[in-house]
Amino acid sequence: MQSPTFKQAILNRRMLICIFTGFSSGLPLFILYQLVPGWLRSEGVSLTEIGLFSLIGIPYVWKFIWSPLMDRYSLPVLGRRRSWMLLTQVLLLFSIAGFGFVDPVMNIWNVAYLAAAVAFFSASQDIVLDAYRRELLPEHELGLGNSIHVQAYRLSGLVPGSLAFILSDHISWQAVFIIVAAFMLIGVILSLSIKELNNTAQAPKTLQQAVVLPFKDFINREGTKSALQILAFLFLYKLGDSMATALQTPFFIDLGFTKTEIGVVAKTASLIAMTIGLAVGGIVMIKLSINRALWLFGFVQIISILGFAALAEIGHNTYALAVAMGFEYLGVGLGTAAFTAFIARATNPAFAATQFALFTALTALPRTFANATTGVIVEQIGWTNFYFICTALAIPGMLMLLKVAPWREPSKTVTQEIA
């Protein structure tokens, strides 16, 4: 069977849905990891306290615990997937807006509680969005569909990472958070406009089945040794860049950039990088295997971390900021696209919610626990050495590719590889 052209593959309704799932999934996470740290730093909160805020990401790590409930049960309206989508998105809309009504200096714990709630609702939304996307995409579209999802995911970061900071120089933080929260309406529109997929037969009949069968299926398909290697890879592959981007906004503020400079440069550089990334990522996913994409994009991802080390040495320079941010969006975006496609390939559609939640939870571990130490590390050794450490931490994940996704496999397209 002849592989579809890039134009044929990208111009269909499933790819449009992937754009919406990516944007809706990425927005709350970037609010937690870009906007909230920048807001706290601009209000005088210490780097150590901001670093500890990474612990509010614990729901992303433990979401596989309640994912069987979302696989087994549904709300009375809209169906198994859409009902959970709509509920979590409405809760996110109101909880994100809530940040604007809290004083971060006088009530830092209230900020933490609210951030934890946003993380829980966001992780729950991810469970159902990932499951829906896995069920939506046919095998030969996993690579491209997940690439588009990730680029839209990164695109959503422009709202809290660019627009919000530009607005904060002109209006109150309360108004900023209300405006940013309103972008969750994109997810609400998605939930109300798509159709529930005709896969009710896949729903587990009991809660016990929803909990046990997904794990048993994964071990049986891969074998114990291979399964453990895959789980180790999922933990290590994004470790370096996850730590590197944990304090990105406070880093820029410490270098003397204004919030407007951060916003404008982020918008320009990231849009260019994401346009390039979508084209390159899509073509590579179609023409090469997911394995080779992991290798190629993984190296780009590592090099992009060094851009921050260079920026730390250069200091306040908008051109250097643009290059560093553009390369980071390109490298990390491409690496995440290939990584997400790998995760999708490793899941069984019959257990999409629980298996996807388990795999993505492992990728969130470093972002949650390792990132909690980043503020302390930076205050001890400085920004440049910190980014060198992040670069070194990205290497073990690349070495795991030798076991889980070797380059020297028969040359084949994504369609052939996963069909």
pLDDT of 26 reads 92
CA distance 260 to 214: 47
% of the chain surpassing 90 pLDDT: 24
pLDDT of 415 reads 37
CATH architecture of 6-418: Up-down Bundle (1.20)
pLDDT at 47 over 60: yes
Contact 93, 182 (CB under 8 A): yes
- Band of residue 311 on the pLDDT scale cut at 50, 70, 90: very high
Q: Which of 200, 70, 162 is nearest to 123 (CA)?
A: 70
CA distance 101 to 65: 31
Alpha-helical segments (H) within 99-159? 108-136, 142-156, 158
pLDDT of 27 reads 95
pLDDT at 14 over 90: no
Q: How far is CA 83 from the centre of its chain?
A: 22
pLDDT of 1 reads 45
Contact 34, 42 (CB under 8 A): no
- Band of residue 188 on the pLDDT scale cut at 50, 70, 90: very high
pLDDT tens for residues 113-133?
999 999 999 999 999 998 888
User: What integer is the mean pLDDT of 388-409?
Assistant: 88
pLDDT tens for residues 199-246?
654 556 666 666 677 778 888 887 888 888 888 898 888 888 888 877
Distances (CA, A) of 216 to 6, 201, 403: 37, 19, 22
**Sign of the C-alpha dihedral computed for residues 393, 394, 397 and 402 taken in this order:** negative
Q: Which of 153, 156, 95, 82 is nearest to 121 (CA)?
A: 95
**For residue 134, what are its two tokens?**
């896995």
Three-state secondary structure readout of 56-75: HHHHHHHHHHHHHHHHHCCC
